[in-house]
Structure 1
Amino acid sequence: MREPVMDGRFDVLLAKMQVGTADAVKTEIAASFWDEMGNGDHAQVHAHLFNVPSPAASCGGATPRPSTWTRYAVRTRLTPTHPPTTQGGEAMPLGSQGFAVIQLPETSPDILPSYDDCPVDEFMGNGTRFKRFSQYRLSPAGSDGWSFERLPHRDYTTFKKFDSAGCGIRRIDEPIKVDFTPLIEVGARELGLDRSEDWQINVHQNRTRADGGGPGPLTPAGVHHDGHEFVMIAILNKLNVAGGTTRLWTPDADDPLWTDTLEPGQAVLWDDRALAHDVTAVLSADGGRGHRDILIVAFSRWAEKWYGDDHYAAALTEQ
C-alpha cells in the first residue's frame, strides 16, 4: 500500500542522524535520500514503488542473496547514529566507525575441551595465560569463500612499536591442534576482505585464568595496535569470571569509542590501523578459579605478511 500521507518525522530523523558524521558519510546519506525520492522523477519515488512487484518475485523460487548493506544492518542492529561507509558503491561491513560485533556459529564439540590442553605461555601473563598459536594463508575460493593453507610452524614475533611488552623475541608456542577455520571464515566474510589477493593470518588460542590470588592481565602493553589490517577477538567460553571488557580507541581520544564485555558466542572485528584497543583484566567472580577462552585472529595482506625470514629479521632487529 502507498503511504497515505507524508510523515515529516522521517526528515527530522534524517537530519539528526547526520550530526557529528564525516562529510563523506553525509554525502552518501544525501545520495541515498535523493534516490529514495526517485532522483527527481515522481513516478520513481520509493513509496510508490512498494506497489510494483520485484523481479525477484518471479525468479523460479530462488531467494535473492541479501546485500552487504542488509547483512550489515541485521548484524549490528544499525541505528541512525552508526551509518555505514561505502567503497565502490558497496557498503563496507565495518561501518563508519571501523568495527562490528557479530554472533558466532556453534563450534564443533572438540573446540572447547582443547583449551584444557593449552600449555602455559612462558612469555606473557605471569602464569595466568595458556596458549597455542598457528599461521595460515587465505586464498579466495568459490564465489565468496576462502581456502586455508596451514603454514609450517614458526615462532611468533612482533614489533616494538606495536607491543613493547613482548617485542624483539621469538615467542615459542605450541601449534593449535583443532580446526578453527570455520569460525575464522565467518570473520573473513564479515570483514569483506579484498578478494583480489591472498591474506595471511596469525591465530592465537588463548585461555586466561584468574583466582582469588590475583587477576589475569590481558593487555600488558596497554592501549595499542596489533600492527595488522584487521583483528578479530572471538569469545568462546567464560567460567566464573568477571572483567575482560574490550575497549576500542580512536587516535588521541580521552575516552574509548566503544566498550563492552562480550559473552561467549560473540566476536568483535575492527580496523586495526584506525583503532587501538585494550582489554581489562579477567577477575574471579567469587574468589575461586575461573577462566576466559578466546580466539584472536589478525589479518594481513599476503604482501604484508607476518611470516617468513624477512618478517622475523625485521621484527627481531627493530630498534
Structure 2
Amino acid sequence: MRSLLEAYGSLADWPAFAASWETLEPDLYLANVGLHRRRRHAVFSAGHAGAITREAHQPHYQSRDYNTLQGGIERWFEPVLPEVADSQTLQTVLGFCQALFGELSPEVGQWQVEVHQFRIEARADEPGQPTPEGVHRDGVDYVLVLMVDRHNIASGTTTIHDAEARTLGSFTLRRPFDAALVDDRRVYHGVTPVQAEDTSAPSHRDVLVVTFRRM
C-alpha cells in the first residue's frame, strides 16, 4: 500500500502525521453511552482531477438508515489540525483516493470528501468498539481505512458482508499502511471489538478513514 500511495506524492512526514493521533479529542457523543473513542474530522471537496480543497468546518451527519446508534443528528467534532490537513502524507492519501475512486466512477464530476482520525481505546475492564454501530454502511460511495498504529491491542478484525448480512470475508489491519478499500454501495463492513493484551498498560487502535461521496 505504501508504494501505491507514493505514486501520488510524498510520505516523508509520516512520523509527524502518525504522532498527530496524540492530539485527538474525546468523542463526546459516544461518551454518553459509555464508549471510548477519540477523533478529529475535516471536509474537503475534490473534482475528477486537480486540486483538493478543504472546506469550512462542518458537522458530520449520517441518517439513521446508516447509523442506528447516532444517526439523525449533526455531530460536531474537533477539526483536523491545519498542519495535518496540509501534510504531505494526507495530501498523498487524498490524491490516491481521488485517482482510484475517480477511475471507478468516471461519471462523477465532484466529490465530497470526509477525513476522520480515529483512536479506539481498550480499557482494562471493557473492550474498545471500533464500530459501535455494528455492521454497517457509511452512506457514501467509497471508503478507505488506513492503519496508522496499533499498540497493545488484540483482535480488531474487519469483516465484509453482503446485503443479506452474509460474511464475504475478514482480515485484520495490523501494521502501518495496512488498508481496506470499500465500495460502500455494494457491501457492509464492521470491526470486532479490540482487547488490551496487557490490561495494566495503555492500548489503542489508530486509523485514518477517508470517505468519498458524489455531490
Under TM normalisation by the shorter chain, which class is it?
0.7 to 0.9
Q: What secondary structure does 1:183 align onto?
A: helix
CA contact (8 A) 1:120 1:127 kept: no
Please state how far the C-alpha of 1:127 moved relative to its aligned partner: 4.8
In structure 2, how many angstroms separate the alpha carbons of the residues matched to 1:181 and 1:107? 12
In structure 2, how many angstroms separate the alpha carbons of the residues matched to 1:217 and 1:153? 26
- Provide closer, same or farther for how the CA distance between residues 124 and 170 of structure 1 changes in structure 2, counting only shifts above 3 A: same
* Structure 2: gaps of 5 or more residues: none
In the alignment, which residue of structure 2 is the partner of 1:291?
204
Q: What secondary structure does 2:100 align onto?
A: helix
- Provide closer, same or farther for how the CA distance between residues 253 and 208 of structure 1 changes in structure 2, counting only shifts above 3 A: closer
In the alignment, which residue of structure 2 is the partner of 1:233?
145
Q: After TM superposition, list the pairs within 5 Å mapping 1:80-159 onto structure 2.
A: 105=6, 106=11, 108=13, 109-124=15-30, 126-141=34-49, 146-159=50-63
Which structure dedicates a bigger proportion of its chain to helix? 1
RMSD of the TM alignment (CA)?
Answer: 2.0
* Structure 1: gaps of 5 or more residues: 1-74, 76-101, 303-319
Identical pairs, percent: 30
Please state how far the C-alpha of 1:187 moved relative to its aligned partner: 2.8
CA contact (8 A) 1:140 1:147 kept: no
The one-letter code of the counterpart of 1:183 is: V
**TM-score, normalising length: structure 1:** 0.58
CA contact (8 A) 2:59 2:74 kept: yes
In the alignment, which residue of structure 2 is the partner of 1:257?
168
The one-letter code of the counterpart of 1:239 is: H
Q: What secondary structure does 1:257 align onto?
A: strand
Q: What secondary structure does 1:123 align onto?
A: helix
Equivalences, count: 197
**1:190 equivalenced with 2:100 (yes/no):** yes
CA contact (8 A) 1:187 1:269 kept: no
CA contact (8 A) 1:231 1:270 kept: yes
**TM-score, normalising length: structure 2:** 0.84
- Relative contact order, CA 8 A, sep 6+: which one is greater? 2
The one-letter code of the counterpart of 1:133 is: H
Please state how far the C-alpha of 1:225 moved relative to its aligned partner: 0.9
CA contact (8 A) 1:135 1:202 kept: yes
CA contact (8 A) 1:232 1:298 kept: yes
Which structure dedicates a bigger proportion of its chain to strand? 2
Please state how far the C-alpha of 1:195 moved relative to its aligned partner: 4.5
In structure 1, how many angstroms separate the alpha carbons of the residues matched to 2:171 and 2:205? 15
Which entry has the higher C-alpha Rg, 1 or 2?
1
CA contact (8 A) 1:103 1:266 kept: no
Q: What secondary structure does 1:110 align onto?
A: helix
Please state how far the C-alpha of 1:124 moved relative to its aligned partner: 2.1
